[in-house]
Chains A and B, each alone.
Chain A
């Protein structure tokens, strides 16, 4: 685990170096990515389709940050999803409007059954024990690369919203690894 943190720190440092000059005019409003820590990140295994990424994201800065998307070499697109209960109590998963906002000094947990990142249209299988690279994109355009360990996970099998553009039976659950 710790090497993941170290890699995240390294990535943070690199991002800082790249972005410091661009924002020299407003040092108190540095890039959002610079204020953010990601830890305990992991992704669920999937052969095809999509896979979720979970973890803890902390905003150590003095203003709200907002994650609006991301990229991954192992996925077509990266979306931010939420899980909501309908009137009948059934939980469905859908894209989170406006992305994920984290108030200053607070942290948000990306957990099965809650908010999470979704790797869409996997370009290769995510196998247990391997790593997946994900770069978070913030509202201000700054980015934060993180490395998540892939794990076999049976939970978080919420249905997709009927109007969603995803296929609810396509990966994500990881049951096929059992």
Chain B
């Protein structure tokens, strides 16, 4: 009896989906519901750069920071090497839909859904492993910004494990495998899960909308030339680091209760873009260039202290890759919501790219009353590997 009921419900649900697809006339909706689904899609593991940076953002992300904590008798450097060896093996298998060695749930590995694994080292890892002389000069701590309200529980870390996929099950499995394999070598420091629109909910490549309702990340890097110039390290400061990049992860809490108090016009004025289309207040389409000189009755259309006006790079060298995810976690007792942005950026040199922009924003951004940076961490994302190589091999050689 139970079976019959659930079967009928299933059939009814299917019909509703088909009807929906018919109404919108969306052909892709049908192909996305094909027999294979998107779970079998993979991203390449091997290459000059690690995946998960230039990769078209997947729907889900998990960022885990760990500290090296080897058992007595094992050096920090030895532990670091062991972690990188285990993770290289796990990553190249799991991202391609192959169970890890010693995988106790191999079936969960078979649908990676574009899983990427991205590994980075914090500055503290170089110091603790006796590798300070090899630390990339671009891997420096960020200066304190005026608006920072940093909580230690979201800051720092010797190691970063970034997992992204279009299916959260693939991320959970990869995280379980990769974290338990290093449990005698590390201690987890923090863990931040993020999401964008579900796979297929939006057209591919659409700019994501954050939980404040804004289209977020319109101006971003595109194409190999921009990545080579602005994201990937060229090895000038530390030859082993060529092909790597520096990642910044800022946890930015959205103050939604007070944000609610603004009307739409005020929200758009604060940011300098329209909420519906993401177009600048001086344009009609998302991709239109904001005109910061336009005025009406002598008053700038886009306020000089709007988010758009201040975030705009002053020159090409202030641009960097933004790859943010939303977060929405259980709030503290008595509060309604704890959500915001996991603002992940990737750049060759934070000091010349990220810091000047962030300083302008911290000093004057009209959006500041409604956003609070509570976490911050910087990692050297290791260069990519070829078959037979281990992540960080050039560093530890």
Contacts and interface: CB of A to CB of B under 8 A. Distances in A.
A40 B387 contact: no
A6 B101 CA distance: 17
A1 B102 CA distance: 12
B112 to A, nearest CB: 16
B146 to A, nearest CB: 43
Contact of B86 (A6, A44, A54, A128): A128
Interface string B153-166: 00000000000000
Contacts of B104: 155
Contacts of A44: 102
Contact of A151 (B83, B92, B102): B102
A21 interface: no
B237 to A, nearest CB: 28
A127 B180 contact: no
Contacts of B185: 128-129
B-side interface mostly: loop
Interface in B43-100: 71, 74, 79, 81-83, 85-86, 89, 92-93
Nearest to B387: A2
A153 B71 CA distance: 16
Contacts of A1: 89, 92-93, 101
Interface string A5-44: 0100000000000000000000000000000000010101
B140 interface: no
Contact of A152 (B81, B180, B388): B180
A177 B387 CA distance: 30
B99 to A, nearest CB: 9
B337 interface: no
Contact of A129 (B86, B92, B180): B86
Contacts of A6: 387-388
A104 to B, nearest CB: 26
A177 B82 contact: no
Contacts of B71: 177
A153 B180 CA distance: 9
B184 A149 contact: no
Contact of A127 (B82, B89, B389): B82
B183 interface: yes
B139 interface: no
B192 interface: no
Contacts of B82: 127-130
B182 interface: yes
B181 interface: yes
A178 interface: yes
Interface string A90-122: 000000000000000000000000000000000
B86 A178 contact: no
Nearest to B70: A127
Contacts of A54: 102
> Which residue, of B83, B180, B184, has the highest number of chain A Cβ atoms within 10 A?
B184
B172 to A, nearest CB: 18
Contacts of A129: 79, 81-83, 85-86, 182, 185
Interchain residue pairs A-B with the least CB separation, the first 5: A129-B82, A177-B184, A3-B388, A42-B101, A2-B387
Interface of B: 71, 74, 79, 81-83, 85-86, 89, 92-93, 101-102, 104, 180-185, 387-390
